[in-house]
C-alpha cells in the first residue's frame, strides 16, 4: 500500500446480516470514515448507502486507504484507516464508538482487506505487490525528527537498546528486511521522538527476533514476512508498544487529545451525541487498545495475534 500509488482516497465498506452482504465503494471517503461511523450503526449504515456506490467485489488492497465491516448478525464492527492523526485519535475513536455502538464487538482489521474478506465471506483480490514490492522509508537524522512516524529500536551486543526515528510510507517499515540494520549502523541514535509514532519495530539481531506494532494495517505481511525477513521470527503485537522504551517513543498520547481531534473533524451534518463524548472525557481512563480480528494467514515462526 503506497501513498504515491494512490490517485484518490478510496474506501470500501461491507454491510452484512450473515446471509447477504452489500459491498460499497467511494473514491473520496477514506479521510472521513472515522467520523462517518461515530453516530452509531443505524446512522452509519444510512450514510454509507447514501454516499458510497454499490460495488461487486473488494478491490486490490493497494488501492484502499480505509474500510469497514458492519456485521449486524454478530454485532461486529471492524475497521482500518490510514487517515487517523495518531495513537490518541485512534484510541479516542474506539472509546466513543463503545458509547455509540453499545453491545457491539469493536475490532481493528490489522490485516486490512484480508480481514474484511475472511470475516464477511466476500472474496478479496490478492495484494498487488509481489517480490518487487517497493519499500519507501528514510532513516532520519536527529535534526529531522519532526518527520518521524516510526520508531525502530535495536538490542545491541551489550544488551543495551538504541532507537532510531524513521519516516515510512504507511507500514513499509515491516517489509524492509534485515538490510534495515545496515542503514541503521551508520545512523545517529535518538534520545526520544518529538511526537508519538504510528508504527514501531524492535529488532534483536542476536536472537533474530522482531516485535512489531502499528496503528495502521499490514495487509499481506503474514504471507510476506518469511520472504522479506528470512530466518527471523516475528511477534506482531497489534497496537501494543510495550516492547519499546517509553523514553524513546516520545510524549505519551492522551485520551483528551484524541477527543479534541475527533471534535474538530465532526463537520457538516456529522453529529455525535455530546453526552457520549462527555462520558468518555469524564472517564479519564487509559487509552483503550483496539483488539484485532484473527487472521487466517500466518507467517512462519511466531505470529502473535
The torsion angles phi and psi of 262, rounded to 5 degrees, stand at -60, -45
Amino acid 208: pLDDT: 97
217 and 274 fall within a common domain: no
**Domain that residue 153 falls in:** 137-249
70 and 170 fall within a common domain: no
Give the pLDDT mean for 266-283: 79
121 and 178 fall within a common domain: no
Amino acid 133: pLDDT: 66
Q: How confident is the model at residue 304 (pLDDT cuts 50, 70, 90)?
A: very low
Residue 38 clears pLDDT 60, i.e. is over it? yes
Residue 298 clears pLDDT 80, i.e. is over it? no
Classify burial at 157, counting beta carbons within 10 Å of its beta carbon; exposed 0-12, middle 13-18, buried 19 or more.
exposed
114 and 263 fall within a common domain: yes
123 and 259 fall within a common domain: yes
Q: What gap in Å lies between CA 238 and CA 274, rounded to an integer?
A: 30
59 and 148 fall within a common domain: no
Residue 183 clears pLDDT 70, i.e. is over it? yes
Q: How many domains does the chain have?
A: 2
Task: Classify residue 288: in a domain, yes or no.
Answer: no
Task: Classify residue 39: in a domain, yes or no.
Answer: yes
pLDDT digits (tens, 9 = 90+) for 121-176: 898 776 544 446 678 999 999 999 999 999 999 999 999 999 999 999 888 999 99
Q: How confident is the model at residue 266 (pLDDT cuts 50, 70, 90)?
A: confident
Classify burial at 281, counting beta carbons within 10 Å of its beta carbon; exposed 0-12, middle 13-18, buried 19 or more.
middle
Q: Which of 102-106, 281-285, 287-291 has the least mean pLDDT?
A: 281-285
Amino acid 12: pLDDT: 98
Amino acid 165: pLDDT: 98
105 and 7 fall within a common domain: yes
Task: Classify residue 222: in a domain, yes or no.
Answer: yes
pLDDT digits (tens, 9 = 90+) for 207-227: 999 999 999 999 888 888 999
Nearest Cα neighbor of 115 from 245, 303, 263, 293 is 293
Q: How confident is the model at residue 274 (pLDDT cuts 50, 70, 90)?
A: confident
Asked which of 249, 271, 295 is the last residue of a domain, the reply is 249
Residue indicated by cell numbers 444510512 = 46
12 and 98 fall within a common domain: yes
CB 216, CB 61: distance < 8 Å: no
Q: What gap in Å lies between CA 175 and CA 229, rounded to an integer?
A: 8
13 and 106 fall within a common domain: yes
The torsion angles phi and psi of 168, rounded to 5 degrees, stand at -135, 130
Amino acid 303: pLDDT: 47
Task: Classify residue 142: in a domain, yes or no.
Answer: yes
18 and 124 fall within a common domain: yes
Give the highest mean pLDDT range of 121-130, 196-205, 255-264, 269-278.
196-205
Amino acid 197: pLDDT: 97
Give the pLDDT mean for 109-127: 86
C-alpha cell at 161: 537498546
Residue 233 clears pLDDT 50, i.e. is over it? yes
Nearest Cα neighbor of 15 from 60, 49, 51 is 49
Amino acid 129: pLDDT: 44
Q: What is the CA angle 8-262-50, rounded to 5? A: 50
Give the pLDDT mean for 45-58: 96
Residue 177 clears pLDDT 80, i.e. is over it? yes
Task: Classify residue 302: in a domain, yes or no.
Answer: no
Asked which of 231, 249, 267 is the last residue of a domain, the reply is 249
DSSP 92: H
Amino acid 186: pLDDT: 95
Q: Which DSSP string corresponds to 97-140?
A: HHHHSTT-EEEE-TTTHHHHHHHH---BPPPS--TT----EEEP
258 and 176 fall within a common domain: no
Amino acid at each position: 500500500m503506497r501513498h504515491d500509488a494512490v490517485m484518490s482516497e478510496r474506501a470500501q465498506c461491507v454491510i452484512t446480516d450473515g446471509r447477504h452482504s452489500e459491498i460499497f465503494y467511494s473514491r473520496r471517503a477514506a479521510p472521513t470514515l472515522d467520523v462517518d461511523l461515530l453516530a452509531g450503526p443505524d446512522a452509519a449504515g444510512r450514510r454509507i448507502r447514501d454516499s458510497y456506490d454499490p460495488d461487486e467485489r473488494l478491490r486490490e488492497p493497494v488501492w484502499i486507504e480505509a474500510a469497514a465491516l458492519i456485521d449486524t448478525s454478530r454485532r461486529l464492527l471492524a475497521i482500518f484507516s490510514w487517515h487517523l492523526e495518531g495513537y490518541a485519535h485512534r484510541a479516542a475513536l474506539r472509546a466513543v464508538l463503545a458509547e455509540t455502538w453499545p453491545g457491539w464487538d469493536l475490532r481493528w482489521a490489522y490485516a486490512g482487506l484480508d480481514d474484511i474478506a475472511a470475516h464477511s465471506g466476500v472474496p478479496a483480490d490478492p495484494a498487488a505487490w509481489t517480490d518487487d514490492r517497493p519499500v519507501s522509508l528514510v532513516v532520519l537524522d536527529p535534526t529531522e525528527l519532526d518527520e518521524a512516524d516510526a520508531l525502530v529500536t535495536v538490542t545491541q551486543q551489550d544488551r543495551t537498546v538504541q532507537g532510531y526515528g524513521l519516516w515510512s510510507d504507511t507500514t513499509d517499515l515491516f517489509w524492509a528486511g534485515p538490510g534495515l540494520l545496515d542503514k541503521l549502523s551508520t545512523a545517529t541514535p535518538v534520545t526520544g521522538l518529538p511526537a508519538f509514532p504510528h508504527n514501531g519495530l524492535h529488532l534483536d539481531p542476536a536472537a533474530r527476533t522482531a516485535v512489531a506494532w502499528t496503528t495502521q494495517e499490514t495487509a499481506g505481511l503474514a504471507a510476506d514476512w518469511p520472504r522479506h525477513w528470512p530466518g527471523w521470527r516475528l511477534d506482531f503485537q497489534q497496537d501494543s508498544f510495550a516492547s519499546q522504551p517509553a523514553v524513546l517513543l516520545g510524549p505519551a498520547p492522551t485520551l483528551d487529545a484524541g477527543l479534541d481531534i475527533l471534535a474538530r473533524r465532526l463537520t457538516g451534518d456529522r453529529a455525535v451525541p455530546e453526552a457520549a463524548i462527555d462520558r468518555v472525557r469524564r472517564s479519564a481512563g487509559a487509552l483503550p487498545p483496539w483488539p484485532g480480528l484473527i487472521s487466517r494467514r500466518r507467517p512462519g515462526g511466531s505470529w502473535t495475534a
